[in-house]
């Protein structure tokens, strides 16, 4: 398991495998405030929005606790699934999540307002949540669906427009490996 104190540093050193992005017609500060809202308590649209649509969160079985280090957290889940590591970088408007995949959501200013990007850097096929996590939709489709849901919540809260999503593969694209971490 990864320590959250180095999760962003670790992911920064890796090329991304897949990326999905969309824009919101709102200031980056307002979007980042909602995207990066993480505190101890139950996961929902107002706390760890990125995971609010996960089945465990929808069932009320996902709770955020403080982790080691500044802006480090863990989302504890009911049942046998390992916790999710989270690290927030408020200065750079980004949040990293490590579960069966490791990815980073970033909010940056753009001519349309704010560009929200989700990049997956690593997939962990040996993680207990792996099969349930992607079997239904496939990783790229799941990334697009999940970011679309996040953007819809933020657009609703801020009363702004959102764009269609853009997807692309990174330099480390490839098939998701079976049985070994990448």
Is residue 91 within 8 Å of residue 82, measured between CB atoms?
no
What residue has token string 């959501």? Answer: 105
Segment 99-147, tens digit of pLDDT: 878 899 999 999 999 999 999 898 876 655 555 545 445 777 778 888 9
Q: Give yes or no for residue 15 having a pLDDT over 70.
A: yes
Segment 29-48, tens digit of pLDDT: 999 999 999 999 888 888 88
Q: Which pLDDT score is estimated for 101?
A: 82
User: Distance (Å, rounded) from C-alpha 43 to C-alpha 48?
Assistant: 6
> Looking at per-residue confidence, does 145 or 27 come out higher?
27
Report CA torsion sign: 58, 137, 139, 148.
Answer: negative
Is residue 73 within 8 Å of residue 4, measured between CB atoms?
yes
Q: Give yes or no for residue 173 having a pLDDT over 80.
A: no
- Highest mean pLDDT: which of 70-79, 136-145, 166-175? 70-79
> Looking at per-residue confidence, does 168 or 14 come out higher?
14
Question: Against a cut of 0.75, is the pTM above it?
Answer: yes
Q: Which pLDDT score is estimated for 21?
A: 93
The single-letter DSSP state of residue 100 is S
């Amino acid at each position: 398991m990864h320590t959250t104190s180095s999760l962003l540093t670790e992911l920064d050193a890796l090329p991304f495998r897949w990326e999905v992005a969309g824009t919101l017609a709102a200031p980056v500060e307002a979007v980042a405030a909602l995207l990066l809202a993480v505190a101890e308590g139950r996961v929902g649209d107002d706390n760890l929005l990125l995971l609010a649509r996960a089945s465990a969160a929808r069932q009320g079985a996902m709770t955020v606790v403080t982790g080691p280090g500044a802006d480090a957290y863990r989302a504890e889940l009911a049942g046998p699934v390992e916790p999710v590591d989270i690290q927030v970088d408020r200065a750079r408007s980004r949040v990293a999540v490590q579960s069966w995949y490791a990815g980073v959501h970033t909010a940056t200013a753009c001519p349309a307002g704010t560009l929200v990007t989700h990049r997956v850097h690593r997939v962990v096929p040996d993680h207990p949540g792996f099969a349930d996590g992607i079997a239904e939709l496939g990783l790229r489709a799941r990334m697009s669906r999940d970011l679309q849901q996040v953007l819809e919540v933020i657009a609703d809260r801020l009363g702004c427009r959102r764009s269609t999503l853009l997807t692309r593969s990174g330099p480390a694209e490839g098939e998701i490996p079976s049985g070994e971490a990448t």
